[in-house]
Structure 1
Amino acid sequence: AALARVAGTAFADRTLWLSVAAHLLLWVAVFACCRANLGASAVGASGGGASGASAGRVGGAGVASAARAANSKDLDVVANWAVLVGFLLAFNVAAAARRWAHLRRDVVGGLWVATNDLALLLGTELHERADRPVKTVALRYCLASFDLLFASDEGACLDDLRHRGLLSAGELEALRPFPAKPQVLWVWVASLVRSLARRGRLPSRMLARLYGVCSRGRGACDQAAIHRTSQIPYKFVHLVAVL
C-alpha cells in the first residue's frame, strides 16, 4: 500500500506528468515524421525509376541514370537524418534511465541503508528499556527525512508529520525555517548521538561509526536534492525538439 501511495510524493506533481506526456508526444511525432519522409522518398525513388525508364525509351539512358542518382542521394540524406535523431533520442532516454537508476540505488537505497545501520548500532549499544525513547527519537527523524525528501509540498508534509507523531510541535517549528529539511534531520541525529557520547552512553569508536552513518544519510539527501533541481541540459533538449 505504501508503494502505491502518490499523495505527498513527487509523483503527485502535475508538472512532472505534463513533462512526460510532452516528451512522449515529441518522440511519437519525430518517429512519424521520419517514417513519412522515408515512405515519400521510397515512392519518389520508384516513380523516378519509372520516369527514368520512360525517358530512356524516349531520350536515352542518361536521364534515367541521373534521376536514380538524385533519388538515391535523397534517400541517403533522409536515412542519415533519421539515424541522427534516433541517436539523440536514445541518448536522452539513456540519460533519464541512468538518473532514475542512481536515484533508486544510491539515494533511496543509501538512505534506507543508513537508517538500518543507525538502528542496528544504536540497538546494539543501547539495549536497555530506558534507552527506548532515545532510539525512538532517532527513528522518528529518519522516517521524517524520508517523507520530506519526496514531498512536493513541504508545508503540507510537515503538518502531516506532526499529525502522525513523527515530529513534535517544537521540532516542527524549529525545522520549518530551514531550506534543506531532510539534511537537517540527519544533523539532529548526529547531535543526539554526540549527546549520548558526552554522557558516557556510547564509546568513542561507536561515535565515529555513527557519525559516518549520519554522513551517508545526509549525503543521500543531498543527491536527491541535486536530482530534483538539476535537469538534463536545456541545450540538448532544445536540439532534440528542433530536430
Structure 2
Amino acid sequence: MESTQEVLFRLSQGQLNLLQTCPRKFQQIYLDKLSSPTNPEQLERQNWGSRFHLLMQQRELGLPVESLVQEDAQLHRWVTALVDAAPEILISNPKTFRQSEHCRTLNFEGYLLTVIYDLFIEDTQSAQILDWKTYPQPKNRRWLEKDWQTRLYLYILAETSDYLPEQISMTYWFVQSQPQPESLKFTYNAVQHEQTKRDLTELLTQLTNYLQRYQQAEDFPQVPETANRCPDCNFAIRCQRDRNFSNTSHLTSEENFSHQDWLPNLAKIQEVSL
C-alpha cells in the first residue's frame, strides 16, 4: 500500500469539504483512486470555468486576451459585465499589491494546507481575497460562510501575514448572476479565527486516526444513512447504499457532488493534487 504520508501531504479546501462530508468517499477518491465518468454537460461547465479563470489571470497580468474572448462570445459578455460591476477591484492602484492565482501554504498538524486566491489585493491597512464563481449566487449566504473555502482562505491569510483577522476579507463574485454579476463579502475576526483553528485541529486529528486505521486495512467511516446524502453519490453501490436509489449521479470529484442539505461546492479552480 502506498504511504499515506506521501499521498496526503497536501490538502486543499476541496479535500477538507469532502472529508467532513463523507470520510469514506474521501478514501475512495484520494486513497483508492476510484472515479466514474463525468457527464458532457458537467464537463462543459468545468471547461468554461477554466477558460474564464485563465482569461481573468491573463487580464491581470496585462497579457492579450483577444484570442480567448473571440472564441467565446458568452465569455466576453461575462468578463465585460464583471469589469463594469466592479471597476474599483479590477483597476490597478499603484498603492496596492495585486497578484492573480496567489498561492499560500501552511503547515498544520502535519499537513500542508494549500490555498490559491483568484486575486489577492493588499495595502498597508487591509488585505482582500477575491474569488470568481462561474455560476449564479447561492440563495443561502450561510452555505458559503460554513464552506471550507471561505474558512480556510481567511485562516491561512491571517496565519501567514502580519494582518489582524479584522483587516482581512474575502469576496465572491458570481459572474453569471442576472441581470449583472453579484458579490458576497465575508469579513473576519479573531473569534472566527480561533474557531476555525479548533475545527481544523479536530478534523485533521480525525484524518490522522483514519489513516492509521487505513494502514491496517480498515475503511474510513461512512456517512450515516439518515443524512440522506447517498442518492447523489457515485459510490452508493460500492458502499451498499443503493437499494433504495433508482438514479445515481456520475460524479468524479468532491467539486461535483451536491445535495439539498450539503454545503455547495465552491472549488471551481484546479485543486492541489494529493
Q: Which has the higher strand share?
A: 2
Q: Which has the higher helix share?
A: 1
Normalising by structure 2, we get a TM-score of 0.22
Normalising by structure 1, we get a TM-score of 0.23
| Structure with more relative contact order (C-alpha pairs < 8 Å, separation 6 or more) | 2
The structure whose Rg is larger is: 1
